[in-house]
Amino acid sequence: MNLVKRELFGPGPTNVPDSVLDALSRPTIGHLDPQFLEIMDEINESLRYCFQTQNALTFVLSAPGSIGMETSFVNLVEPGEKVVICINGVFGGRMKDICRRIGAEVVTIENKWGTPVNPDELQKTLQAHDDAEIVAFVHAETSTGVRSDASTIARIAKSHDCLVIADCVTSLAGVELRVDDWELDVVYSGSQKCLSCVPGLSPITFSDAAVEKVKRRQTPVQSWFCDISLLMSYYESGEKTRAYHHTAPVNALFAMHQALKLVVNESLEARWARHSDAVNRLYARLEAAGLEMIVEEQHRLAPLTLVRVPDGISDAEIRQSLLAQNIEIGAGLGKFAGKAWRFGLMGENASIQRADFIADALLSTIESCR
């Protein structure tokens, strides 16, 4: 098949640097080969830096971001336990579905789409439900382009003795994230967003308190594959007695190793600033042309921007026309379907030059469709 390269400006995957693709195509080796174990140790070390954590249990799950979500909940939540889920888009809704399937008692806080999680509502909810054990939220809602205040949410949750699960799929290595300082207990992400790696992997980290809660479980984790007490025997370094759990996706992890190396070499602070500078250029270019951003400025998520579809313009026609130019952008989801486009400036594509590229492409395409 003759595969045409695309410029990926949607909600992920984003374009992958050549050095990461080169790493992917290195010769496959065994997943218990000492060379590979060394690579895994390096991956886990780099990940601790990216998450800004000292958590011992920090590793990469062998499946996409969704398995990070699944793994967080199936381990931390037992049937009948009370979980408070802050929902402000598609992904918070999925957290609720997972918890229902576990048989948890789910309390939801629904925030208007396009707005962040409301900390005051969380405070009130936790006062009314003082038996809640877990608070979960999405730091960076990719469906709405909103960043919530993770440190405030976690502080409130901790003052009510709850453990905190945070979806950081679109924030890791794109916007400020400090797992230890903010006291987040379980944080998961995905490979294909701001890390600019190939899709299909999910970095995850567990605080000691989270691991303790898993050890205290009365019931076994329903999912064999996602049970961290089994996974730990493979991922935890130290005594080097790694046991077979499943065959790790060796080549994808070569790619992750290189993608993380790029983050470490650049530094997180520089990378966060790059994402911010790039998106500021996008806002400026599009606003100068009369286009409107959906999310209020202080709550916008740098890696993902929602732009209102102007009156008289067909959302789908523009996306199709861009794809004909080998440029992918995202459609609006849920309440924003047909009403907004989603532009990702993630990882490789978070630069002024790439922001200009996508702004030029969008504006000329709108002009030609008028």
Ligand X SMILES: *Cc1c(COP(=O)(O)O)cnc(C)c1O
Choose the binding region for ligand X from 38-46, 164-172, 341-349, 353-361 (rule: CB under 6 A). Answer: 164-172
To ligand X, the closest distance from the beta carbon of 190 in angstroms equals 4
CA 329 to CA 290: how far, in whole Å? 19
Q: Does residue 295 contact residue 147 with C-beta atoms inside 8 Å?
A: no
Among 40, 117, 169, 252, binds ligand X (CB under 6 A): 169
To ligand X, the closest distance from the beta carbon of 68 in angstroms equals 7
203 binds ligand X (CB under 6 A): no
CA 168 to CA 127: how far, in whole Å? 26
Residue with smaller CB distance to ligand X, 139 or 274: 139
Query: Which of 4, 26, 17 lies closest to 263, judged by CA?
Result: 17
Positions 69 through 98 that interact with ligand X (CB under 6 A):
69, 91
Among 117, 138, 278, 295, binds ligand X (CB under 6 A): 138
190 binds ligand X (CB under 6 A): yes
Four-residue CA torsion sign, 160, 165, 169, 175: positive
347 binds ligand X (CB under 6 A): no
Q: Which residues pair with 110 in a beta bridge?
A: 87
Matching residue, tokens 């609720």: 96
Q: 52: burial class by Cβ within 10 Å (0-12, 13-18, 19+)?
A: middle
Any residues with CB less than 8 A from the CB of 332 and at least 6 apart, and which? 306, 309, 315, 338, 339, 340, 341, 342
Residue with smaller CB distance to ligand X, 307 or 346: 346
Among 70, 81, 167, 176, binds ligand X (CB under 6 A): 167
Choose the binding region for ligand X from 32-40, 145-153, 167-175, 250-258 (rule: CB under 6 A). Answer: 167-175
How many residues lie near ligand X (CB under 6 A)? 13
66 binds ligand X (CB under 6 A): yes
Choose the binding region for ligand X from 166-174, 240-248, 249-257, 356-364 (rule: CB under 6 A). Answer: 166-174
Q: Give me the helices (H) in 325-351, please.
A: none
Matching residue, tokens 């309440």: 335
Among 20, 53, 64, 318, binds ligand X (CB under 6 A): 64
Rg of the chain taking only CA atoms, in angstroms? 21
Among 40, 62, 65, 252, binds ligand X (CB under 6 A): 65
> 170 in helix, strand or coil?
coil
Residue with smaller CB distance to ligand X, 63 or 210: 63
328 binds ligand X (CB under 6 A): no
The DSSP code sequence of 198-262 is -SS-EEEEE-HHHHHHHHT-SS--S-TTT-HHHHHHHH--SS-----SS---HHHHHHHHHHHHH
Phi/psi of residue 71, each to 5°?
A: -65, -40
To ligand X, the closest distance from the beta carbon of 185 in angstroms equals 17
Residue with smaller CB distance to ligand X, 134 or 366: 134
Footprint on this chain of ligand X (rule: CB under 6 A)? 12, 64-66, 69, 91, 138, 140, 142, 167, 169-170, 190
